[in-house]
Amino acid sequence: MIKRILNYNFSLLNTDHVKLGPKWNYANVISPYHRVYYINEGEGEISHFQKKFKLERGHLYMIPSYTMCSLKCTEHLSQFFVQFFEESSNGISLFSNIRSILTVPARDIDIINFKRLVEINPGRGINRSDNPKIYEKNNYYKEYQDLNNNQNMSDFLETQGILIQLTSRFVAPEFLIQKQPDYIPDKILETINFISVSLHKPLSVKFLGERINLNPEYFSRLFEQYTGSRPLQFINQKRVEHAQYLISTSQATYSAIAESTGFESLSHFSRTFKKNSGLTPTAYKKRNFMAAK
């Protein structure tokens, strides 16, 4: 059980209690981190493609990473929120099969946890702006990571515990479309880790299979059995997700992003990006950064 918990690490970005009005109105936002809201007053709305969620008092809402959504408040909305990155030892997110908004009724412990999280992490709000176009920049991520590194051990561990508890509210069977296997063979686990740090390199099924002394076809079937994806599908998904992160957090050109994520050409990058995300890189950037008018 302890090993299962330690497979996941959560890195706090922002947390605060805020009161919002009609200016909180942003369209087609995609972020590389998870977000959880607890609504304590007023109403708002989150929309995901054609599906709309009413932000209601007494409920928790989670937006998993890389989930496109629009945020809106017409009058008044008071909420606690937390934004955090997730890392796992096997490279597979708890929400890897979910790109939709999740909601559950809040419990008393959730409210206590949110208040405590804000209390032990002062100054972690979004003080510059509530517009993702403004605050989602790489230098801001680095600034808050430095705050995590400098946090005293007691507060750091308590923060991790609270993030684990809040995350646990959204990993019930009805949310997780495909249950991850309890055990992943060492060779597959090592390959996942290798892929995660080698996206910029040429990667083929033949190469990945041979490096762990497995027949490429057998390796491919085994990889799919434990990850739910064929190796090349998994690689392209991770490359596109990393490209989304770079587009969201840097000013790098598409050519530079394509090269750093291992695509052989800009056209290959664009085709794969659209196939996996439904958008071209340019459309993704515009939807991510353009505030609703």
CATH number of the domain enclosing 143: 2.60.120.10
pLDDT confidence of residue 178: 47
- pLDDT band of residue 286 (cuts 50, 70, 90) is confident
CATH no. for residue 256? Answer: 1.10.10.60
Note whether 7 and 111 are same-domain residues.
Answer: yes
**Does 86 share its domain with 225?**
no
DSSP 291: P
Q: Of 142, 168, 194, which marks where a domain is finished? A: 168
Residue 166 pLDDT greater than 80, yes or no = yes
Answer yes or no: is 176 within a domain: no
Same domain, 154 and 21: yes
Q: 182 or 109: which carries more pLDDT confidence? A: 109
Give yes or no for residue 138 having a pLDDT over 60: no
116/191 same-domain check? no
Between 67 and 165, the more confident residue is 165
Q: What is the pLDDT of residue 204?
A: 94
User: In the chain, where does DSSP find H-type helix?
Assistant: 2-6, 108-120, 132-135, 138-150, 153-168, 186-196, 205-211, 216-227, 231-249, 254-260, 266-277, 281-289
Give the tokens for residue 250: 């840097």
- pTM value > 0.85: no
In a domain, 173, yes or no: no
- The whole-number pLDDT of residue 245 equals 78
More confident call, 208 vs 227: 208
Task: Tell whether 20 and 152 lie within a shared domain.
Answer: yes
Residue keyed to tokens 């063979």: 185
**One domain, residues 32 and 138:** yes
Q: Indicate if 162 and 227 belong to the same structural domain.
A: no
For residues 11 and 88, the answer to whether their CB atoms sit within 8 Å is: no
Q: Which domain holds residue 42?
A: 2-168
Residues 28 and 78 in one domain: yes
Look up residue 108 and give its amino acid.
Answer: D
- Domain annotation covers residue 181: no
Q: Which residue has the higher pLDDT, 53 or 111?
A: 111
The count of domains in the chain is: 2
The answer to whether residue 210 sits within a structural domain is yes
Q: Does 222 lie in the same domain as 92? A: no
Considering the domain architecture, whether residues 238 and 274 belong to the same structural domain is answered as yes
Q: Is residue 179 part of a domain?
A: no
**Residue at which a domain ends, from 108, 136, 168:** 168
177 is a domain residue:
no
Q: What is the per-residue pLDDT across 56-114, written as a single tens digit (0 to 9) for each?
A: 999 999 998 877 788 899 999 999 999 998 877 666 678 876 778 999 999 999 999 99
Residue 1 has pLDDT above 70, yes or no: no
Q: Last residue of some domain: 168, 199, 234?
A: 168
Mean pLDDT score across all residues of the chain: 83
Residue 145 predicted with pLDDT over 90? no
174 domain residue, yes or no: no
Kindly state whether residues 106 and 237 are assigned to the same domain: no
**Are 220 and 205 in contact, with CB atoms under 8 Å apart?**
yes
% of the chain with per-residue pLDDT over 90:
47
Mean local confidence (pLDDT), 38-63:
90
Domain shared by 211 and 156, yes or no: no
Of residues 216 and 197, which shows the higher confidence score? 216
In a domain, 53, yes or no: yes
